[in-house]
Amino acid sequence: MSRSAGSAAWAWGALLIIPTVLLVVLIVPGLGEMGEGILPEVLAHEELRNAPEFYDFAVHARSWAIVILTLSAVVGVLFWLALRATWRRRLLEFDFEQVLNYRRLVWSHFGYAVVVAALIATGLLFCSVDLRRLSPASWIILILAGAITAALQYLMNIWGTVGTRRLFRGR
């Protein structure tokens, strides 16, 4: 039974880099109205954006965002790996009642990934003096960005790799 999807496999595999692309788009310098990246501009309130220290803030914010979003992506990957290992372990029990609902397992891991990424983002956010100074709305944006990155990475891994995509689709 052939498991190769040919060129389609490449297309599905491309999903894996979407979170990275988003990360790059959000933080790469040169983008945004002020050329310091999109995320720093979104996080900074207007007063800061117009102040001279914005440029220092942008440098720090980019660094912290890279750390937070990368860790979130790693969380997404780790939960995807955990999903695979859990399913494999359950299958190897050869108890059919334990393996009737694969998608529930997928979504439960999805939830855990989001929560863990959000917690990590929150923790890191408060470690940073520059980010602590931001408004609560900015905090939420940053935490959401981490959670979304983890979720995206998790889902892209599921859909982008043959094994878990087939398991999820059931075909």
Partner 1 sequence: MNLVCVGIGGTGAACVETLVHLAAIGLFPDGLDVVPAVIDPDEAHPRIRGMTTFVSDYKDFRQRGAAKDCRDSTIFGTPIVKDAQFNHLRPAQQANLYQLLGLASPGARPLAYAFFSKREIGGPGTSEFANGFYGRANAGVCFFSDPQGKKSLLDAISQYLRTADDRLVVFGSVFGGTGAAGMLHVARTVRDNAKSGDVKPKVAIVMLEPYFRPDSSGADTTKLWNDPSTFLRRAGSAYRFLADLAARDNLPCEALYPLGIRTPEVFPPAWFAPDQQDNPHLFLEYLASLAARDFVLNPQERERVPMLKLRRVVLPPFVSPDHPEMTTHLDRLREVLYGAAVTYQVIENFVVPLVGRCQGADRLPGHPWIHDLTTQTKLPPAALLAHFRAATALLRPVLGHAGILPTEWRFERARDLSEEDKQRAELMSSITRGSFPPAFIPFLEHLKISEVLSNANPNAMFDDYDTRHDGGLPVRALSRWVLSAPMSLPRGEGAETAKERADYQLVQQEGPDYKDQAGNVLNLAQVTDDNFNAVDNTKRKLETLATATWVTRETGPGETSSTRPLSQRVQPPEPSEYPTIWAPALVYATRIYGADSRPDDRYIHLGLLWAALMPWKEHKEPPIFALRLGYDDRERQQMEPREQELDLRNSAKITPALRDTVRTTCPLSNYQTAVAKSWTVLFLHDSPDLAPNSSPREDEILGYFYPDTVVAPSRSLSDERADELLELGKDVASSGFGALLASRYQEAWFDVLKASGVPGADICGPRFITFLREFPHNPERRSISIDQAYSEHRIPDSAPWIQYLYSARFSA
Spatial distance between the Cα atoms of 163 and 152, rounded to a whole number of angstroms: 18
CB of 159 to partner 1, least distance (A): 13
For residue 160, the minimal CB distance to partner 1 (Å) is 16
- For residue 52, the SS3 value is coil
Closest C-alpha among 75, 84, 68 to residue 142: 68
Nearest residue (CB) to partner 1, 10 versus 94: 94
Residue pair 43/117 in contact by the 8 Å Cβ criterion: no
Backbone angles phi, psi at 100, to 5 degrees: -90, -20
Q: What is the nearest approach in angstroms of partner 1 to the Cβ of residue 86?
A: 11
Nearer to partner 1, 1 or 129 (CB): 1
Query: Which residue, 72 or 161, has its beta carbon nearer to partner 1?
Result: 161
DSSP string of 69-126, one letter each residue: HHHHHHHHHHHHHHHHHHHHHHHTTT-GGGGS-HHHHHHHHHHHHHHHHHHHHHHHHH
Q: What is the DSSP letter of 36?
A: S
User: Cβ of residue 164: shortest distance to partner 1, in angstroms?
Assistant: 10
Token pair belonging to 8: 């389609």
CB of 73 within 8 A of CB of 67? no
Minimum CB distance to partner 1, residue 110 (Å): 14
Binding site for partner 1 (CB under 8 A): 1, 3, 87-88, 91-96, 99-103, 105, 163, 166-171
- Beta carbon nearer to partner 1, 53 or 95: 95
Q: Which is nearer to partner 1, 12 or 102 (CB)?
A: 102
